[in-house]
C-alpha cells in the first residue's frame, strides 16, 4: 500500500508479533504504528479508505496458548474493526482462513463448501472465531450496507516469520538449520498447500481494490505432504538432520488445497513464486534470525 502512495496506520497489540518486523517502516512519515488491542475501543484519526482486519494468532501453537484472546479478537475485535470501517465509510477486508473448512470432506475446497469443523475441539478457538467473523462481516454487509470483502487465506509462509512460530515451515527450517531432528507429525501423509507471502499479499490487495464480496480463496494449488516438505527443507538447507515422527495433533486436517478458480476469474490472480524460490528466500531470513538469536 505504501508503494502505491497510500498511507498506512498499523494497529497491533504485539501478542505474537514484534516491531522488529516493521523497523524499516517506522521512520516513514506515511506509516504510523499504534500499539492497540483491537478488542478495546478503536480510534484512528483522519480519513480511512480501507480497513484490513488481520488480527489473530494464526499458528496453532499460539492460539492454543491464547485461546480466549483468539476468540475475543475474532468476535469483539471483528466488531470493532467493522464499526471503524462503518464510521469512516471504508471498505472492510476480513482475513479469514482455510481453517473454516476444518478437516474437509471436499477436496480441493471451493468457497461454496461449508466445512467439517469440530466446534469444541482444541482448534475450535481459531476455526470458530474465523467462522463467526465471516458471519458478522456478512451481517454488516447485508444489514448495514457496508462494503466488505472476505479472503480465505491458505498456509502462507515467507520472510519475517518467527523461528518459534510453531507452524510446519518455520519449525522444519529452524530444526534443519540447527541440524536437529526435523519433527513430522503422524506418518507425514497429511498435505498442505503452501503459498509465498508475496503471492498472498497480491491476492489480498487485489480483493481489497475490487468490489468483490468474497469469500475468496487465496492460496497455492501446489499440494505437498508434510513428509515431503520436511525432506525438501533438509535438502534446501543442506542439513544433516534426520526426520523424527511425533504424535499428530487432535483434529489436524488430512488434506488442504484451495480451488482458486474464483480468484483467477475475478482478479486475474494466480501464485507466481515457485516453491523452491520461496523457500530459499525464507531460509535466508531464518539464517539471519537464528544468528541474531545466538548473538543476543
Tens-binned pLDDT, residue by residue, of the chain (296 aa): 999 999 999 999 999 999 989 999 999 999 999 999 999 999 999 999 999 999 999 999 999 999 999 999 999 999 999 999 999 999 999 999 999 999 999 999 999 999 999 999 999 999 999 999 999 999 999 999 999 999 999 999 999 999 999 999 999 999 999 999 999 999 999 999 999 999 999 999 999 999 999 999 999 998 999 999 999 999 999 999 999 999 999 999 999 999 999 999 999 999 999 999 999 999 999 999 898 777 65
For 206, the grid coordinates are: 487485489
126 catalytic, yes or no?
yes
Q: Tell me how far apart the alpha carbons of residues 236 and 26 are, in angstroms, rounded to a whole number.
A: 33
Best CA proximity match to 99, nearest among 64, 74, 128, 73: 128
Per DSSP, helices labelled H in the chain are 60-65, 67-88, 124-144, 168-177, 197-208, 226-237, 261-267, 275-295
Q: Tell me how far apart the alpha carbons of residues 226 and 187 are, in angstroms, rounded to a whole number.
A: 9
Residue 46 gets the label, from left (phi > 0), alpha (psi -120 to 50) or beta, of left
What pLDDT sits at residue 294?
A: 72
The alpha carbon torsion through 228, 270, 254, 237 (nearest 10 deg) reads 20
Phi, psi torsion values for 62, nearest 5 degrees: -75, -45
What pLDDT sits at residue 295?
A: 61
Residue 122 Cα distances to 21, 148, 170, 234, angstroms: 29, 30, 21, 30
Three-class secondary structure of residue 196 per DSSP: strand
Q: Tell me how far apart the alpha carbons of residues 269 and 271 are, in angstroms, rounded to a whole number.
A: 7
What pLDDT sits at residue 19?
A: 93
User: Which listed residue (126, 132, 157, 222) is catalytic?
Assistant: 126
Residue 133 Cα distances to 11, 118, 163, 229, 272, angstroms: 18, 17, 28, 31, 29
Q: Tell me how far apart the alpha carbons of residues 56 and 17 are, in angstroms, rounded to a whole number.
A: 10
For 245, the grid coordinates are: 515422527
Q: Tell me how far apart the alpha carbons of residues 122 and 63 are, in angstroms, rounded to a whole number.
A: 9
Amino acid at each position: 500500500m505504501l508503494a502505491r502512495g497510500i498511507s498506512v496506520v498499523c494497529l497491533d497489540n504485539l501478542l505474537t508479533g514484534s516491531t522488529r518486523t516493521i523497523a524499516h517502516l517506522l521512520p516513514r512519515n506515511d506509516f504510523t504504528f499504534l500499539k492497540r488491542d483491537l478488542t478495546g475501543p478503536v480510534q484512528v484519526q483522519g480519513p480511512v479508505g480501507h480497513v484490513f482486519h488481520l488480527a489473530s494468532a494464526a499458528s496453532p501453537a499460539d492460539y492454543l496458548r491464547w485461546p480466549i484472546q483468539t476468540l475475543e479478537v475474532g468476535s469483539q475485535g471483528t466488531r470493532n474493526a467493522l464499526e471503524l470501517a462503518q464510521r469512516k465509510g471504508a471498505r472492510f477486508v476480513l482475513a479469514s482462513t482455510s481453517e473454516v473448512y476444518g478437516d474437509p470432506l471436499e477436496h480441493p475446497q471451493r468457497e461454496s463448501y461449508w466445512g467439517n469443523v469440530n466446534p469444541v475441539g482444541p482448534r475450535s478457538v481459531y476455526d470458530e472465531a474465523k467462522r463467526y467473523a465471516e458471519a458478522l462481516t456478512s451481517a454488516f454487509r447485508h444489514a448495514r450496507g457496508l462494503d466488505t470483502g472476505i479472503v480465505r487465506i491458505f498456509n502462507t509462509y515467507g520472510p519475517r516469520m518467527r523461528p518459534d512460530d510453531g507452524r510446519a515451515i518455520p519449525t522444519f527450517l529452524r530444526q534443519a538449520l540447527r541440524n536437529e531432528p526435523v519433527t513430522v507429525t503422524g506418518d507425514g501423509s497429511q498435505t498442505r498447500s503452501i503459498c509465498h507471502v508475496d503471492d498472498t499479499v497480491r491476492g489480498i490487495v487485489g480483493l481489497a481494490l475490487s468490489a468483490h464480496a468474497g469469500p475468496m480463496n487465496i492460496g497455492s494449488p501446489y499440494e505437498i505432504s508434510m513428509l515431503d516438505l520436511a525432506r525438501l527443507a533438509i535438502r534446501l538447507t543442506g542439513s544433516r538432520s534426520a526426520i523424527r515422527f511425533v504424535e499428530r495433533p487432535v483434529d489436524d486436517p488430512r488434506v488442504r488445497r484451495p480451488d482458486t478458480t474464483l480468484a483467477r476469474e475475478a482478479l486475474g490472480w494466480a501464485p507466481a513464486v515457485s516453491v523452491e524460490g520461496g523457500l530459499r528466500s525464507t531460509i535466508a531470513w531464518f539464517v539471519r534470525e537464528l544468528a541474531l538469536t545466538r548473538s543476543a
